[in-house]
Chains A and B, each alone.
Chain A
């Protein structure tokens, strides 16, 4: 498996273009035809209310708010992945590069109707960033004074990714590295692969 990874990752590669196009088509089609939709504003408003309540409850202890949001996301992620696999019937990703494209072109598209850009691969090819232009959950949000620099408003997304990827045997660290709410140029989530969990892979696979 490591061999195949390094070879197919060897460039930001045109070789993968058809595959990526296919994933994009799958994501778009599923979103268009197989998904019951709701106004995004309802969701944003609900999420914002939850974050506001947490900030109040924890009286400005934003590390705990981040943790709570992450936990909510984790709980969502471990269940959303089932829904995702049922809808798309996608097979196991053979490379982490493919995983990144599935996350951006299919998962984000189907659930949030967004397609973050995959960027900033590291040299070891086990870490990438998902780049959003604006913070996707915070269209009308203004952080309270003191929260800037501490609160990751959309931390729920990290939890979702962490939970969902864990369910498909990918142990990843997921965290925000920048946020337009904090005055950064873009909103970036970093996904770093720690290891591929082995327990469910039959012996002899390697």
Chain B
């Protein structure tokens, strides 16, 4: 990736490196790490949100002797720091289970979704701030209208957080937007292995079950969208964002990828 491969820089005449090139160089010089790690940590937010929920319920429910039993038994073991570390681990171990989350009652389920979304919101608004301060000359935040804000989300935010852009943006120019990501990156590898299920499901039921299990993962990008909008002057209570599954056009469906695309419906009300 030498300078010569960038037309317009070498032939600039003035010899000055263009602002855009300057920005790219700065970005390249930033410390980097492996995208796999970043992606996996983002996905880990979902089981964590559930683990916190369960762990808090256990704490509240003083009478739940069965639930507390295993914990207190562990904590009577006298020990050094090593066993302490193990004890902490085992106390949260049992709750790592998405299938269980899907069967929780509505209150609990929604509370987990809310926790995921709120993490997404704070991460989204911070990432948005970072992208703004990076001073990419191709984005101007001055007098930014709603459509450019949405484009900023589709192109820049999505590219940085999920490694790809949103595939399709639709709007009615009155505050309603549809952002469609046909291959939402974090869920592409997900699949339910039929052999681990207790009962045999038809292919159709299996997909319904799979979609249900993956649903909590969609709450995170919803939070990201809201967080970015928030940081650019659209308060959380003026924004509604819902994620639903979208069918993929036939020619786009890849073997091994997740069977559905994601449709984010964003509704922004003005004051």
Contacts and interface: CB of A to CB of B under 8 A. Distances in A.
B40 interface: yes
Question: Interface majority SS on A: helix, strand, loop or mixed?
Answer: helix
Contact of B41 (A43, A53, A110): A43
Contacts of B21: none
Contact of B33 (A37, A64, A173, A192): A37
B212 interface: no
Interface of B: 27, 30-38, 40-42, 44-45, 47-48, 51-52, 55-56, 81-82, 84-86, 88-89, 91-93, 96, 115, 118-119, 122-123, 126-127, 130, 160-161, 163
B34 A68 contact: no
B56 A57 contact: yes
Contact of A111 (B34, B119, B127): B34
Interface in A42-92: 42-43, 45-47, 49-50, 53-54, 57-58, 63-64, 66-68, 70-72, 74-76, 79-80, 83
Contacts of B40: 76, 79-80
Contacts of A45: 123, 126-127, 130
Nearest to B163: A36
Contacts of B92: 67-68, 71
Contacts of A112: 33-34, 37
B120 to A, nearest CB: 10
Given A38-B32, A39-B30, A111 B37 contact: yes
A75 B89 CA distance: 11
A27 B35 CA distance: 16
Interface of A: 31, 35-43, 45-47, 49-50, 53-54, 57-58, 63-64, 66-68, 70-72, 74-76, 79-80, 83, 110-113, 156, 158-159, 162, 173-175, 192
Contact of B119 (A50, A58, A68, A162): A50
A42 B82 CA distance: 32
B85 A70 contact: yes
Contacts of B82: 173, 175, 192
Given A46-B41, A72-B41, A40 B30 contact: yes
Contact of B35 (A37, A64, A80, A156): A37
B48 to A, nearest CB: 6
A54 B52 contact: yes
Q: Which 8 A-B pairs have the closest CB atoms?
A: A67-B88, A37-B32, A40-B31, A36-B35, A38-B35, A173-B82, A111-B34, A71-B92
Nearest to A159: B89
A113 B52 contact: no
B38 A49 contact: no
A55 B91 CA distance: 17
A70 B55 CA distance: 15
A61 B202 CA distance: 46
Given A42-B127, A43-B38, A70-B88, A75 B163 contact: no
B265 to A, nearest CB: 25
B33 A111 contact: yes
B226 to A, nearest CB: 14
16 contacts: A35-B35, A36-B34, A36-B36, A39-B30, A40-B30, A40-B33, A41-B31, A68-B48, A68-B51, A70-B85, A71-B48, A72-B44, A75-B96, A158-B85, A159-B89, A173-B85
Contacts of A156: 41
Given A75-B47, A173-B82, A175-B85, 12 more contacts: A38-B38, A42-B130, A43-B38, A70-B88, A71-B89, A71-B93, A74-B89, A80-B37, A83-B36, A111-B33, A111-B34, A111-B36
A35 B96 CA distance: 29
Contacts of A79: 40
